[in-house]
Structure 1
């Protein structure tokens, strides 16, 4: 086995010297400008190839090259034509630059810098726009993917153009500078990040504009994630953007486009009665990469251990009478039960024992076959299927996976969770969007549990039915909706709609959009009135996001259409007109002004990406059997093992202490109660004698134990209420059903024992 790959890479000069990123956030959309600075310090001309990630839903809308004083702006062309033009330019001694999206996944791009002469520099400018997703705590998430891990490629689907060259984060030879400007109609309350930032600087007194910078010395061991918080974030809005003056009237780019953000508010009467049924299917990634640490803290909790803790919380929070099953996948897949079983004490305990034994030992990330098996299982009448997918999201056949979820979207809702750095945003967002669910990303020091429990809350909300969107516009104005129909709505979550406006209207004219739906048999509607006057200084952000939305719809249609070539022509035409990237087009720049032909054969240089796997030291690689298990995505782990073994043994991994909350939760029964035993006393940090002695005489052991657990949760873990709220509600329901006469005495005695002052009403009793 070749253990010298990293050493060879270190010796090769890397022509990429620095990356500068400028982010501009306006409310909940972002424009990102990246400048990549190249310099050839070798004595022969170069071709440099850089494979890197972008957000999966980004609309790449500008690509240009600056050589000396000359700037050349790229054109969008059909992909094969662009590739041929690039090859022709290089063979004739001209400089050329090619930017294209992977055929397999819309969040991976390849940038080719061709014929960079000795001693010459070039700056590549890349611009994209993207929507910002709303997180569990109402923050808007922007992620600059600085990490691209090797994507697991299923057999027969390798894309030779998109093989990733990677090195440990500490060996990345280029620097990154990052600055952001945030503006909104509402005050910016704070900006947080998983990376070190310079202090937030407000630009005006009402705090609606601010700037922030990445502190120097970014280590490339993580994606750069910003969480932006506004005051009163859940306000429905509509932005009308004027068309491009040079574009043809009646075309998407020539007409005004409106972007509507809706935050439906469900009636309280419906929300207070969450569903007590459903089939909950949990699909867990057990590929080798799940053994990596979830963050860079000293505790080094692995992704798989965090996912197992999360499964514990989920299983304890499920309602009695529902059905569930747990699948896991790697190169193959496994299931705990042959088919979904009814939730009860026996099945819950059996599942928890199997979860405790789970390891990241199933090889590569082959999610497709496990999904096919799940969808082949018949649905259970009156038990709506809810699928929860946990993965670090490194697959090569993203589009195929999303397409499968879409085909089965009528039978279930899909909730997805991207774990760790480098997770594919295209995969995580795509399966949730097509599956009518919700996507979450768990990175840095995030705890997985609150985000997952929010999604469980969503899954317990009744599914909306009969969703319709109607528009009321002045006479002479018409609207064409560009977004796919809304199929899923959740309390407090944003729904975005893009639409093209045609016809004339006065500047004072007003439009109205009405969202109607049925929820648990109750008809509801939300309405938004908005001005048709175009916003000032909005550029073409909304048009480009609308174009990207339409392109994605057409690309999906092309996958399943007999007239694929016709649909492909539509995509290419729209991509060229809007200047927005697609899987069928590429950006091409040829420096035809360069009169001097570049002589000599080109040296090929792959620009390496940082690879966080190489920081993963939580396993031992002293047997040939392990090497046989690891699939394509984990080759870099083996490289690391070889390098490490030259210097000595792995340090023994420290076993983290069990979280006190999870310790208490693990003791809860499926019905919602706790038993009075030494394990409960230990979880409460008391002796068994103290707990027994304090029990009111008339109280049953189970009632006393359950009230003690509830008091401890409210008294010591209110900061984690999102995590235990559902299982506490189950405990309260169990207590209510017991009609116990001594609840008040138990609450009083429990407060004295635990040193708390929790009111009976606060417990929900």
Structure 2
């Protein structure tokens, strides 16, 4: 039986008319948002096309303006490889530089690079494909003329010359398009030994040097410079560079270097470590070690330092390395005096310590932190009877106290606050600081010592060394090299003239041990008036360098090189006698000459030591110094031993003419990198975002660029071109997004207003 139910009515919270209205509004808003998104995507697509095209047409790398409209130039590429073989205390090294020409032009590459300040550079080999050309030693001007004539004639040629004992220049001419030319430079050096540890240091970069205006007298010094006194002021054409050439300031690392050390210490080792670079160590037979950079290639931006220590039972007390060259015997002697017993020392004299801190722009960052920590560590070791002062310098010089004051708690606290607040900026006007520190009145009651903390980034080394020699008096100068690439030549030579010692601090972790060792030297008396006695078998004509032997401090060995003229090593016998004056009285020690260690390179080390002695006359003597006579002596010695000096150079010239007639030779200096930790803004006075300019006459590989980039290239005039960025333009997208959000909000308000009107009318 069918049941007839009444119709059921469905009730809703929203009237059907309102629901249709809401749906209509939602569709309108959604459609508007979809349309907005489509418009934005279309704009992005259109905008991306030029950037992608520019990216496809423009190569990455470093470029310079060619001087022709619409063109820029690609720079040559340099790669360096270093191989060092250490035999006892003599190191023989080969630096291999590969110059590659990526362009379609014929190029000349010029590169400034460092070597150890005591190295004897005596070999040059140029390799082009399978051909090897050996270099010849010449007087510098003659070598430069021969090189330039060969370069102009289209012959491949290379020239290695010295600008400083630790700064060299390689020039390579007529590198063909797409071609590589290899230059190998060989040198000898002596390994350092101190406090029971051997050390090998290889510098990788020449730091920018500050060169002040000539100052015949401090009273004629110019007014203080602005807060930022750039190194670039010493350059030319407003470029980022110094007296040695252009410097990269874009923050990237361009010059890579690989390094291998073959170590034959001759003794069982207790430790072997690289201080600043991760390395891989492979152990061979007979205590031989192979040390390789773990990363293969590293940026050439800081010194490489390798240290090794023999086992305590095998620590050397003396060693003699020998080489026979012709009729002459050459010796390299190292002897460690016995440590003085504490009870035998007399009561030390009170000290007058003056700390001089470099606060120029190149010391910004880690370098100044290291210097401040070093001074604070020294302040803690002052005794109540000592006196001290702190001097800082950059473009100007300032002393904490008018004169040295007693080391009271209050004065030390004031110095601590003063040093902690030091900041780095300005130029490196070092001469006024040296004059102030060394100009103290002589004291009979205190031992006067100056501790100079700096990276040594100056170009007027000879002027400053003459200042030290002329102003030193009875004082002693101790230098502390700070940072990743200090000017070790200047620092070491200043300490030698100042009858002190040189210490290097390259990391904050080294401050305490290095300063403890230095302060121990300051607190303990030196071994003075050291002399050498020879047996009859050594002959009558003996040349020993350095002469006189320098004073020694705690942990330092007696080290010298000697040539025995007309003596055969096989006939050398007897004992070497070394005598001196120690704090507890006369001291002497004998060394048998029957046990010699053969070491190729000793003759070159001796020649280098003699050359240093000759050139020291340039600033050790007075105004009447006969510079012509010094030059003649140094030139004759360098030519005789084949050494690169400030007066000589090595040149290699290929006989074949390579560059076709009608092709021009374009020259370019390869810029150096900034040392690790350096701030281009503090050094050059502007943010480090640009590459160093090239000379206006330089031309290299040309590239056609889009018009916007050509305008930027013209404005940069030799600076690195910033290539187009393909990442999202965040600022523009934020503006567009905000506009679309405002549009959406307006649409919502319009819809709500319409609903309100509809409700009222209903």
On whether the aligned pair clears a TM of 0.5, the verdict is yes
Name the CA distance, whole Å, in 2 between partners of 1:129 and 1:212: 19
Question: Residue in 2 aligned with 1:634?
Answer: 684
Q: CA-to-partner distance for each residue in 1:366-420, whole Å, 9 max, x for gaps?
A: 2222112222222211312111111122111123323332344552222211111
Question: Residue in 1 aligned with 2:407?
Answer: 343
Q: How does 1:348-427 map to 2 (within 5 A)?
A: 348-361=412-425, 363-427=426-490
Name the CA distance, whole Å, in 1 between partners of 2:146 and 2:611: 24
Residue 199 of structure 1, aligned match among 280, 284, 290: 280
Name the CA shift for 1:269/1:230 in 2 (closer, same or farther; >3 Å): closer
Question: Aligned to 2:245, what secondary structure does the other structure show?
Answer: coil
After TM superposition, give the deviation of residue 453 of structure 1 in Å: 1.9
After TM superposition, give the deviation of residue 51 of structure 1 in Å: 0.9
After TM superposition, give the deviation of residue 60 of structure 1 in Å: 1.0
Question: Residue in 1 aligned with 2:86?
Answer: 25
Question: Residue in 2 aligned with 1:442?
Answer: 505
After TM superposition, give the deviation of residue 274 of structure 1 in Å: 5.8
Question: Is the Cα–Cα contact under 8 Å of residues 525 and 553 in structure 2 kept in the other structure?
Answer: no
Question: Residue in 2 aligned with 1:701?
Answer: none
Name the CA shift for 1:498/1:554 in 2 (closer, same or farther; >3 Å): same
Question: Residue in 2 aligned with 1:264?
Answer: 337
Question: Residue in 1 aligned with 2:590?
Answer: 527
After TM superposition, give the deviation of residue 335 of structure 1 in Å: 0.7
Question: Aligned to 1:611, what secondary structure does the other structure show?
Answer: coil
Question: Is the Cα–Cα contact under 8 Å of residues 403 and 556 in structure 1 kept in the other structure?
Answer: no
Name the CA shift for 1:604/1:640 in 2 (closer, same or farther; >3 Å): closer
1:72 lines up with 2:136 in the alignment: no
Name the CA distance, whole Å, in 2 between partners of 1:556 and 1:272: 34
Question: Residue in 2 aligned with 1:564?
Answer: 627
Question: Residue in 2 aligned with 1:544?
Answer: 604
1:113 lines up with 2:186 in the alignment: no
Question: Residue in 2 aligned with 1:324?
Answer: 388
Question: Is the Cα–Cα contact under 8 Å of residues 507 and 532 in structure 1 kept in the other structure?
Answer: no
Q: How does 1:580-599 map to 2 (within 5 A)?
A: 580-594=643-657, 599=662
After TM superposition, give the deviation of residue 636 of structure 1 in Å: 6.7
Question: Is the Cα–Cα contact under 8 Å of residues 57 and 130 in structure 1 kept in the other structure?
Answer: yes
Name the CA distance, whole Å, in 1 between partners of 2:254 and 2:538: 60
Question: Is the Cα–Cα contact under 8 Å of residues 41 and 118 in structure 1 kept in the other structure?
Answer: yes
Q: How does 1:10-89 map to 2 (within 5 A)?
A: 12-89=73-150
Q: CA-to-partner distance for each residue in 1:543-588, whole Å, 9 max, x for gaps?
A: 1111111111111214445321122111111101101121111112
Question: Is the Cα–Cα contact under 8 Å of residues 482 and 500 in structure 1 kept in the other structure?
Answer: no
Which structure exhibits the higher relative contact order, with contacts defined as CA atoms closer than 8 Å and separated by 6 or more residues? Answer: 2
Question: Is the Cα–Cα contact under 8 Å of residues 576 and 592 in structure 2 kept in the other structure?
Answer: yes
After TM superposition, give the deviation of residue 519 of structure 1 in Å: 2.4
Question: Is the Cα–Cα contact under 8 Å of residues 509 and 532 in structure 1 kept in the other structure?
Answer: no
Question: Is the Cα–Cα contact under 8 Å of residues 86 and 263 in structure 2 kept in the other structure?
Answer: yes
Q: CA-to-partner distance for each residue in 1:668-712, whole Å, 9 max, x for gaps?
A: xxxxxxxxxxxxxxxxxxxxxxxxxxxxxxxxxxxxxxxxxxxxx
Question: Is the Cα–Cα contact under 8 Å of residues 284 and 389 in structure 1 kept in the other structure?
Answer: yes
Name the CA shift for 1:573/1:318 in 2 (closer, same or farther; >3 Å): same
Question: Residue in 1 aligned with 2:206?
Answer: 148
Question: Residue in 2 aligned with 1:281?
Answer: 354
Name the CA shift for 1:44/1:640 in 2 (closer, same or farther; >3 Å): closer
Name the CA distance, whole Å, in 1 between partners of 2:430 and 2:550: 24
Question: Aligned to 2:456, what secondary structure does the other structure show?
Answer: coil
Gaps of 5+ in 2: 1-60, 66-71, 216-233, 237-241, 692-715, 726-762
Give the TM-score normalised by the residue count of structure 1: 0.73
Question: Residue in 2 aligned with 1:430?
Answer: 493
Question: Residue in 1 aligned with 2:575?
Answer: 512
Question: Is the Cα–Cα contact under 8 Å of residues 329 and 365 in structure 1 kept in the other structure?
Answer: yes
Aligned residues: 601
Question: Is the Cα–Cα contact under 8 Å of residues 511 and 532 in structure 1 kept in the other structure?
Answer: no
Question: Is the Cα–Cα contact under 8 Å of residues 307 and 390 in structure 1 kept in the other structure?
Answer: yes
Name the CA shift for 1:80/1:155 in 2 (closer, same or farther; >3 Å): same
After TM superposition, give the deviation of residue 225 of structure 1 in Å: 2.1
Question: Residue in 1 aligned with 2:306?
Answer: 226
Q: How does 1:126-275 map to 2 (within 5 A)?
A: 126-134=185-193, 138-156=196-214, 162-167=243-248, 171-204=252-285, 206=286, 208-215=287-294, 216-231=296-311, 232-243=314-325, 245=326, 249=327, 255-269=328-342, 272-273=345-346, 275=348
Name the CA distance, whole Å, in 1 between partners of 2:302 and 2:127: 29
Gaps of 5+ in 1: 1-5, 250-254, 294-302, 622-629, 648-765
Name the CA distance, whole Å, in 2 between partners of 1:476 and 1:375: 43
After TM superposition, give the deviation of residue 508 of structure 1 in Å: 5.9
Give the TM-score normalised by the residue count of structure 2: 0.73
After TM superposition, give the deviation of residue 24 of structure 1 in Å: 0.7
After TM superposition, give the deviation of residue 473 of structure 1 in Å: 3.2
Please, which moves more after superposition, 367-376 or 46-55? 367-376
Residue 675 of structure 2, aligned match among 606, 612, 617: 612
Name the CA distance, whole Å, in 2 between partners of 1:241 and 1:274: 44
